[in-house]
Amino acid sequence: MSVSKAIRALITLGVLLLLGFATVSSTAAMRDIPRVVLIGGASAAITYGISLLFRDELPLGRRLGTAYLAFVGITYVIPSAVGLGEHMDFVVTSIWNRLVDPYLLIWLSGHARADLYQLPDSSSYFMPPGVNYRFSYAVITASVIAIVAALGMTRSSKIGLVTWTVLLGASLLFSGCYIYVGIYSWGISGIGVQMFWEASYIVAFGLATRHVKWGQTLSE
């Protein structure tokens, strides 16, 4: 890693530490920072940090878009791995709640503890015991594939492109179904998080695939 990249990496790490301090701080000023700002800032910093691993010859937009796709894969691996632990049902749901609406995960698992239309009125919700293991293994597998495919896209891999096209298509399908039911059940405010994340996937995919000659390296 060049000196310039090392300095940028240290600055990025400093930003992440500052955001982490703001998240756990008990001071009034820190508590007043909206959660969306902290999550957005951390996501941007981690994405930029991942982009530093890529070649400088790649356009900045492509580096950031591909890095974000890899970041998405990582964010899904972490809670899924936590879900493999014993008695972690509430913990893993709390983590998911900071990434996507957990109702979506419960719905896709097919094992909701309450009727779908009653979920918003529940005082608590979590992935049902036993489902965590099967669901977590499936999500971890898909996430690792997503990360490898994103890294492959930095080298103009057609396999990486096809893989992420399929993943994005599936994500759009599931989110579309969820949004349809969500609007009927909870209204627009109840599906805002999922709509935001889905939009971010689309933007990142667009940046990562813009003006790319698939199957050809930069030297070609």
pLDDT tens, residue order, the chain (220 aa): 566 878 888 888 888 888 777 766 656 555 667 777 777 888 889 999 999 888 888 899 999 999 999 999 998 888 888 878 777 767 776 777 666 655 555 555 554 444 444 444 444 455 555 556 777 888 888 889 999 999 999 988 999 999 999 999 888 887 777 677 667 666 666 666 777 888 899 999 999 998 888 876 655 4
SS (H, E, C) 4-16: HHHHHHHHHHHHH
The pTM for the full model equals: 0.80
Q: Report the distance separating Cα 159 and Cα 150, nearest Å.
A: 10
